[in-house]
């Protein structure tokens, strides 16, 4: 195959040359003893970016969300979250399997938002012994399955107000919080301020090879650290990985605007192709969704044909395909992908 453009996810990014150098030169120690200076520095920087007291380096976003839920909840407790949430859909049921925590889903709106009335109605009566206890509400920003949509702090504040009134914390799955911040033209800490804890990834749009952060109060992070040990996430000389994440925070946040611009270009090009539908108004970050209903084909068939032709994508449902731009995709790649998509749809239809 002459050329491959990988639009499956921003997790496929490769570390930059600066990251590789930093990893090679990293000063390390035993992080379980709190003695890895590079991890310690990364955690300080991450907490500063989120405006929190402390942060914890973890292996992945899934681990970050898991230890956050474990830190907030005990067995038999319940968490309220959207029915399209990554925690619910794509994390192997870990909060239930490993934490004994029930999930209570409410519908996500098209933009990833939860209806505050739905959230309030989902709260359990703590005086009734028949019910699990509601202990946590989770939000996601940007929202993966809703097409990279961005929740504004004012929207998140509506959910935070409900949770505060009813006495439970809010956890933010902010895997792509920096995409949200760049899209809104604000600092990530302004988004994080609408939650009690935040998980974000270094390894998606920021292009570090491994890792995520869990951020919150010192007391919360200490509980999360214990939960990390419980699930086998205590890393020793992990500063080799943290060094790349430090570069990611310093050099890769502002350039996310390029990914967003490329997503817009891609959306505009795909929209011109008969058989593909894209709502340009919904393309707010580096993720876009295209429906194939008008083609009369399934998403699996179209996605398979695109992948065979060198443009890798993922089907996200019977008639929906996801495209994700990232550090490894430039404007020329976008133009090429549009041309391949046109050829594929012409052939299939």
Same domain, 240 and 278: no
pTM strictly above 0.75: yes
Same domain, 110 and 179: yes
Three-state secondary structure call for residue 301:
helix
Same domain, 216 and 315: no
Same domain, 85 and 213: yes
Same domain, 204 and 273: no
**How much is the pLDDT for 62?**
97
**How much is the pLDDT for 126?**
83
**How much is the pLDDT for 1?**
55
CA distance 288 to 179: 13
CA distance 15 to 13: 7
**How much is the pLDDT for 138?**
98
**How much is the pLDDT for 349?**
85
Same domain, 27 and 132: yes
User: Of 251, 274, 301, which closes a domain?
Assistant: 251
Instruction: Calculate Rg over the CA atoms of the chain.
Output: 20
Same domain, 113 and 39: yes
User: Of 251, 276, 291, which closes a domain?
Assistant: 251
Task: Please tell me whether the peptide bond between 142 and the residue prior to it is cis, using omega within 30 degrees of 0.
Answer: yes
**How much is the pLDDT for 224?**
98
CB 60 within 8 A of CB 211: yes
**How much is the pLDDT for 17?**
97
**How much is the pLDDT for 80?**
98
CATH code, 149: 3.40.640.10
For the chain, the domain total comes to: 2
Same domain, 89 and 166: yes
- Condensed to tens digits (0 to 9), the pLDDT of residues 138-170 reads 999 999 999 999 999 999 999 999 999 999 999
**How much is the pLDDT for 298?**
96
Same domain, 83 and 143: yes
CB 137 within 8 A of CB 171: yes
Characterize the bridge pairing of strands 287-291 and 212-216: unpaired
- Condensed to tens digits (0 to 9), the pLDDT of residues 81-132 reads 999 999 999 999 999 999 999 999 999 999 999 999 999 999 998 889 999 9
Ranges of the chain with pLDDT below 70: 1
- Cβ contacts of 18 within 8 Å, gap of 6 or more: 247, 251
Domain ranges, residue 304:
5-12+255-348
Same domain, 57 and 105: yes
Indicate the average pLDDT of the chain.
Answer: 97
User: Of 251, 278, 306, which closes a domain?
Assistant: 251
Same domain, 228 and 309: no
């Amino acid at each position: 195959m002459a050329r491959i453009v990988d639009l499956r996810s921003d997790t496929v990014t490769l570390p930059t040359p600066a990251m590789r150098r930093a990893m090679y030169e990293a000063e390390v120690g035993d992080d379980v003893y709190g003695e890895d200076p590079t991890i310690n520095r990364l955690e300080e920087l991450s907490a500063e970016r989120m405006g929190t007291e402390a942060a914890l380096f973890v292996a992945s976003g899934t681990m970050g969300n898991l230890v956050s839920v474990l830190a907030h909840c005990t067995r038999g407790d319940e968490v309220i979250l959207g029915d399209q949430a990554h925690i619910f859909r794509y994390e192997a049921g870990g909060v239930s399997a490993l934490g004994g925590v029930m999930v209570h889903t409410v519908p996500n709106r098209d933009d990833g938002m939860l209806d505050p009335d739905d959230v309030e109605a989902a709260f359990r009566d703590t005086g009734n012994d028949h019910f699990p206890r509601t202990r946590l509400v989770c939000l996601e920003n940007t929202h993966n399955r809703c097409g990279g949509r961005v929740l504004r702090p004012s929207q998140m504040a509506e959910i935070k107000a409900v949770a505060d009134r009813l006495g439970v914390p809010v956890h933010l799955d902010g895997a792509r919080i920096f995409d949200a911040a760049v899209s809104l033209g604000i600092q990530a800490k302004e988004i994080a301020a609408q939650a009690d804890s935040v998980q974000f990834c270094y390894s998606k749009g920021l292009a570090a090879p491994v890792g995520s952060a869990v951020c919150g109060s010192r007391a919360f992070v200490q509980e999360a650290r214990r939960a990390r040990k419980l699930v086998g996430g205590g890393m020793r000389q992990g500063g080799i990985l943290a060094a790349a994440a430090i570069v990611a925070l310093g050099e890769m946040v502002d350039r996310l605007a390029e990914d967003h611009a490329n997503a817009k270009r891609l959306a505009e090009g795909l929209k011109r192709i008969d058989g593909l539908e894209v709502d340009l108004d919904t393309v707010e970050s580096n993720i876009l969704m295209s429906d194939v209903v008008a083609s009369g084909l399934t998403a699996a068939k179209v996605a398979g044909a695109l992948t065979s032709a060198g443009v890798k994508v993922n089907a996200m449902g019977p008639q929906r395909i996801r495209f994700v731009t990232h550090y490894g995709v430039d404007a020329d790649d976008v133009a090429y992908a549009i041309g391949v998509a046109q050829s594929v749809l012409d052939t299939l239809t």
